A and B are shown apart, each in its own frame.
Chain A
Amino acid sequence: MTNQALRDIDDQVLGTLGRPSIRYMLVLGLFALLMLIGVIAYGFQYALGMGVTGLSVPVAWGVYITNFVWWIGIAHSGTLISAILYLFRTKWRNGINRAAEAMTIFAIMTAGLFPLIHLGRVWVFYWLLPYPNWRHLWPNFKSPLVWDVVAVSTYFIVSLLFFYLGMIPDLATVRDNTRDGRRRRLYTLLALGWTGRYEQWRHYARSYLALAALATPLVISVHSVVSWDFAMSLIRGWHTTIFAPYFVAGAIHSGLAMVITLLIPLRKILRLERILMPYYFEQMALLMILTGLIVGYSYGVETFMSWYSADIFERQFWMYRAFGSWAYSPLFWIMIFLNVAVPMTFFVKKLRTNLKYLLIAAILVNIGMWIERFVIIVVSLSHDYLPTSWGDYAPRFVEVWVTGFSFGLFFFLFLSFVKLFPCIPMSELKEQAIEEQRAIQERV
């Protein structure tokens, strides 16, 4: 009985690695085209300078930094699902953690490009890194921007190690079931001679647990550090102590929405209905109610603090954000609706168990979270203390296409991944099946 259950899991997951369909290749080609257009647009910026963007004084941080913060946020739920839920022994993570981890890796890679694109003089990006040099010039370790470089680099490396370590037993399964010579060589190389010996499992399990324990505080720290890029300055709308938890909750909120956005179509395309059960999505929807409430509470606290502080700059800034601009104020209300009101509909069981509704709601939350980052970054900069320094910002076509490039890159990498590597953690699902079987036998 157990044997059959294990074989079923292998068959279904290995079945996803078959020859890609024409439709799949067309979609992949579409994302490659999006990337190409983005590269051409970036080439334009590279050649002519930052003047081709809409960035200017006072709004010197625009869509690029918005994209950076948003993509870093997207990267958060992967480690949440794989590390934090692993430590809590949450079973529903087992079916989805691999895809969520892959999403994390690709989202960090995408996010990491934006500070470089925003630099303007991208060829000197290495000045941000701490390395011994003959000029004895080191980055300023008291600067939140350098904290950010250290935090994001650490997050990428740790997530990559965690992702790869978790995949080794499954790579061995793929290696043992692949006939294609080139693919077999690739999986043999990556599986590191895994045989499933008890000795291997013993050290592997400890290593995985240690990485999960270390990745958990990292999830909390990374977006806190990103929030301090803003909160450490004296700009209205940025300089507030609630920013770290507010950003972390928002990051997990948007990350969960992206996992849902990716996995519902994936379930259908790869015919994984028997593995990616609606129950998993329902649990994620329930988690989104919690993160949505925290985000809503943060919006409320910001509003309350600007009134209770009796600071005229705080009050006028909040009024400007909510009612003062035809261009920006509607975004503020749309943001509240999409990030708070939409996830609250998940209280209704009928809605949160309807996958089509869940997918639409998750896409709306993704849009809402992008708008939130835009409102925080751009609107705060556009309305400073001095009316003489107020100014507007609108992204130009280069920024729009470079943003399109980021989506092209992310989805291209993710789609390539699901066809090359097992996107469902087979060994963890098998372990769960064995445990369930044992529990039934013990009861009998």
Chain B
Amino acid sequence: MSDKVRVRAKFENLQGLEDSLRKLKGMGIRHYETYAPVSIKHLEELMPDRGSTVRLWATIGAILGLVSFWVMSSKASLIFPLVVGGKPPVSNVPFVVVMYEGTILLGSIAAFISGIVLARLWPRKPPSMYDPKWSGSEFGIEVECKDEEKGHVLELLKASGAVDLYGD
């Protein structure tokens, strides 16, 4: 079994990156990662991984918020079950406001935390291979390929307009 190597390239424009992704996909290479200063939606079809579970977590958080705020309102009202203003202790209509806010609150917190966790973000320095220009105006690609494919991949990236090429 041959060893895997990593090839990295830098592009001055998006067109070159897109072009190289198309060629890599055509070659059957599936392990690559792009670096960009912006979110590029149309790259989705060229990337191996798609979708995200953030929405699922946000929905779970929202449902949890709805239920927990209803439980909190009801339980708290039952500690001293007084009839206030003609309303029974557990009055679901006024609790709708609290439940509504709870749904949004926990749904939003879940959406935020899941986004951060899934994107593997935490306070730290970027890795040493990271080029600071990738957060500015340039684009990067990192390809994982077999050792024997390395030469071909380098050639392909260069043909797509890569300005800087380096590998393991």
Interfacial chain B residues near A188, Cβ < 8 Å: 123-125
Q: Are B43 and A142 in contact (CB under 8 A)?
A: no
A172 interface residue (CB < 8 Å to B):
yes
A107–chain B nearest beta-carbon distance, Å: 19
At the interface, yes or no: B26 with Cβ under 8 Å from chain A? Answer: no
Whether A195 lies near B130 (C-beta < 8 A) is yes
**Is A434 a contact partner of B52 (Cβ separation < 8 A)?**
no
The complex places the Cα of A177 from the Cα of B133 at a distance, in Å, of 9
Residues of A within 8 A of B137 (CB): 3-4, 6-7, 10, 430
- Smallest CB separation, B80 vs chain A (Å): 7
Is B108 in contact with A161, judged by CB distance below 8 angstroms? yes
B136 adjacent to A176 (CB under 8 Å): yes
B136: nearest chain-A partner, CB-CB: A10
Does any Cβ of B come within 8 Å of A242's Cβ? no
- B84 x A140 contact (CB < 8 A): yes
Contact with B along A101-116 (1 / 0, CB 8 A): 0000000000000000
- From known contacts A203-B52, A208-B115, infer whether A168 and B121 are also in contact, taking CB-CB under 8 Å: yes
Query: B126 touching A141 by the CB < 8 A rule?
Result: no
Whether B112 pairs with A427 at a CB distance below 8 angstroms is no
Closest to B130 in A: A195
User: A141 to B91, alpha carbons, bound, how many Å?
Assistant: 9
Complex interface: stretch among B1-9, B93-101, B146-154: B93-101
- Which of A127-169 touch B at CB < 8 Å? 130, 136, 138-142, 146-147, 150-151, 154, 157-158, 161-162, 165, 168-169
A10 to B120, CA, bound (A): 25
The range of chain A's interface size is: 35 or more
Closest to A171 in B: B135
Please pick, from B54, B104, B136, the residue contacting A206 in the complex, using a CB distance under 8 A. B54
Chain B CB within 8 A of A197 CB: yes
Contact in complex: B136, A169 (CB < 8 Å): no
Q: In whole Å, how far is A98's beta carbon from the nearest beta carbon of chain B?
A: 15
Residue B19 is within 8 A (CB to CB) of chain A in the complex = no
B160 close to A (CB within 8 Å): no
CB of A421 within 8 Å of the partner chain: no
Q: Are A196 and B35 in contact (CB under 8 A)?
A: yes
| Smallest CB gap from A215: residue in B | B108
Inter-chain contacts of B34 with A (CB < 8 A) = 197-198
Our pick among B72, B77, B84, B111 for the contact of A207 (Cβ within 8 Å) is B111
Which of A10, A204, A218, A431 contacts B115, CB < 8 Å?
A: A204
Q: A172-B135, A196-B36, A210-B107 are in contact. List 15 more A-B contacts (CB 8 A).
A: A3-B13, A140-B84, A141-B94, A142-B87, A147-B98, A169-B38, A188-B124, A193-B124, A197-B33, A197-B35, A200-B121, A210-B55, A210-B115, A434-B40, A438-B42
Residues of A within 8 A of B (CB): 1-4, 6-7, 10, 130, 136, 138-142, 146-147, 150-151, 154, 157-158, 161-162, 165, 168-169, 172-173, 175-177, 188-190, 192-208, 210-211, 214-215, 217-218, 221, 225, 228, 427-428, 430-431, 434, 438
- 23 example contacts (A-B, Cβ-Cβ < 8 A) are as follows A3-B137, A6-B136, A7-B136, A138-B79, A142-B77, A142-B84, A142-B94, A150-B101, A157-B109, A161-B108, A172-B135, A195-B130, A196-B134, A197-B33, A197-B35, A198-B49, A202-B47, A203-B115, A210-B108, A211-B108, A211-B112, A214-B104, A221-B97
